[in-house]
Amino acid sequence: MYRPRPMLSPPRSFTPFAVAFVVIITVGLLAMMAGLLIHFLAFDKKAYFYHSNFHILNVEYTEALNSPATHEYRTLSERIEAMITDAFRGSNLKSEFIRTHVVKLRKEGSGVVADVVMKFRSSKRNNRKVMKTRIQSVLRRLSSSGNLEIAPSNEITSLTDQDTENVLTQECGARPDLITLSEERIIGGKQAEPGDWPWQVSLQLNNVHHCGGALISNTWVLSAAHCFRSYPNPQYWTATFGVSTVSPRLRVRVRAILAHDGYSSVTRDNDIAVVQLDRPVAFSRNIHRVCLPAATQSIVPDSVAYVTGWGSLTYGGNAVTNLEQGEVRIISSEECNMPAGYGGSVLPGMLCAGMRSGAVDACQGDSGGPLVQEDTRRLWFVVGIVSWGYQCGLPNKPGVYTQVTAYRNWIKQQTGI
Ligand code: ARG
């Protein structure tokens, strides 16, 4: 059959296609350029870490500056951190500066030297030398700022990510956000990620999880006395590290168990023990110590705390194999001792924490594990040791913990820490 041949389209009807074609190509090119621009402006950034030390001339070094738990240490570190932060925020490095942290305060002459790490974020194409010079010129202007008198000339050294991690994991109480000096702090969900609670220890009897504990030095673990009452012989015990109790990162034998002489199984008073490991552990991102609070540190009712452990999820249930965390609040002993609560069983060396409605609590198998709180500088302190409770997670029946501040001197006597 004959079909008429289609006529070639006149040039007029060709135009809409050409226009559409040109528009699509142009939009595509623009989008690509914008993408590249965004990439180079935002994603081509790299973290740069530096170490420096500041000699502070007008502050006298005292014993109180020896421990990050003291008010003196905290306030001086905060002042130094604020001074450095202000200097960079008011400089041409304000968009590169991320965060600074005082790692240590030392004695130098009659004054104090503060070891500090600083984080910047800048383009990958940036030259380290140029960056260093710019930072140094900001720091050089510090000597005249604030009411801290800083000795001039502070050398800075650049640190790799690994160096920074090593420096921060030697100090106590650093969680992942501090180790990377990141701006945000996130604790989500219930299951712990590796490195979230690096001081958490599983104390195992014949290689089976029995109690929790908290690493307070490279050889000492803080735990509860009641964990060892029936099994005081250290040779059956090991300590494991890492979020999983079935495939731990590290297993170390226990050398000695020192439980408090005054522990009473009736009143549960003095439910505290320190466990000495057979060899020191090497600190790393996933294994390092928590800070011990000062004996004088006050634990504020209603403040947030976290309890961690492999204990059962329901009363009478089984222990879990992956570390869990729970957010709770400190409850005053007065409230905790009300008739509807524990009616006077909460003794002065104890501390209550939970949720008023119940629901979040430690449970069987969490005993000996830490209740921790963050200070204003994002260091974590062990304020409680899981001790007892009426069942788990019931309203008006919160978890009862050994109050670590009350035993601070006992810990010192036993371990020297
Ligand atoms: N005694 C328990 C243990 O051996 C800990 C109980 C904690 N109970 C509580 N509801 N917070 O693991």
Q: What is the pLDDT of residues 58-77, one digit of tens each?
A: 999 999 999 999 999 999 99
Phi, psi values for residue 237, rounded to 5° = -105, 145
Calculate the average pLDDT of the chain.
Answer: 92
Average pLDDT over residues 172-182: 96
CB atoms within 10 A of CB 347: 18
Phi, psi values for residue 140, rounded to 5° = -65, -30
Distance 226 CA to ligand 1 centre (A): 10
Distance 264 CA to ligand 1 centre (A): 16
Q: Is the pLDDT of residue 392 over 60?
A: yes
The reply to whether ligand 1 has any atom less than 6 angstroms from the CB of 363 is yes
Identify the pLDDT of residue 41: 59
Which residues touch 210 (CB under 8 Å, ≥6 apart)? 203, 204, 227, 231, 365
Distance 387 CA to ligand 1 centre (A): 6
The reply to whether ligand 1 has any atom less than 6 angstroms from the CB of 399 is yes
Mutate to test the pocket of ligand 1, among 210, 245, 387 (most ligand atoms within 8 A of CB): 387
Cα–Cα distance measured from residue 316 to residue 296, given in angstroms and rounded to the nearest whole number: 37
- Burial bucket for residue 64 (CB in 10 Å: 0-12, 13-18, 19+): middle
Cα–Cα distance measured from residue 406 to residue 67, given in angstroms and rounded to the nearest whole number: 17
Maximum CA extent, the chain: 111
Which residues touch 24 (CB under 8 Å, ≥6 apart)? none
Identify the pLDDT of residue 29: 87
Identify the pLDDT of residue 366: 98
Mutate to test the pocket of ligand 1, among 324, 350, 388, 396 (most ligand atoms within 8 A of CB): 388
Cα–Cα distance measured from residue 259 to residue 261, given in angstroms and rounded to the nearest whole number: 6
Whether the CB-CB separation of 325 and 306 falls below 8 Å is answered with: yes
Q: Is the pLDDT of residue 1 over 70?
A: no
Using alpha carbons, select from 404, 360, 368 the residue that is nearest to residue 386: 368
* 126-140, 328-342, 372-386: the lowest-pLDDT one: 126-140
Which residues touch 252 (CB under 8 Å, ≥6 apart)? 238, 239, 240, 241, 277, 278, 279, 281
Instruction: Identify the residue whose tokens are 């738990």.
Output: 69
In tens, the pLDDT along 254-278 reads 999 999 999 999 999 999 999 999 9
Give bridge partners of residue 208 from the DSSP assignment.
205
Whether the CB-CB separation of 225 and 232 falls below 8 Å is answered with: no
Distance 331 CA to ligand 1 centre (A): 17
Identify the pLDDT of residue 17: 77
Whether the CB-CB separation of 312 and 326 falls below 8 Å is answered with: no
Indicate which atom in ligand 1 lies nearest the CA of residue 400. 11
Average pLDDT over residues 324-349: 98
Angle at 275 between CA 169 and CA 224, to 5 degrees: 105
The reply to whether ligand 1 has any atom less than 6 angstroms from the CB of 369 is no
Q: Is the pLDDT of residue 8 over 60?
A: no
Confidence of residue 286 (pLDDT cuts 50, 70, 90): very high
Mutate to test the pocket of ligand 1, among 223, 314, 352, 364 (most ligand atoms within 8 A of CB): 364
Q: Is the pLDDT of residue 185 over 80?
A: no
Question: If you ran DSSP here, which 8-state letter would residue 83 be given?
Answer: H
Identify the pLDDT of residue 322: 97
The reply to whether ligand 1 has any atom less than 6 angstroms from the CB of 401 is no
Whether the CB-CB separation of 152 and 140 falls below 8 Å is answered with: yes
Distance 412 CA to ligand 1 centre (A): 26
Question: If you ran DSSP here, which 8-state letter would residue 397 be given?
Answer: B
Confidence of residue 146 (pLDDT cuts 50, 70, 90): low
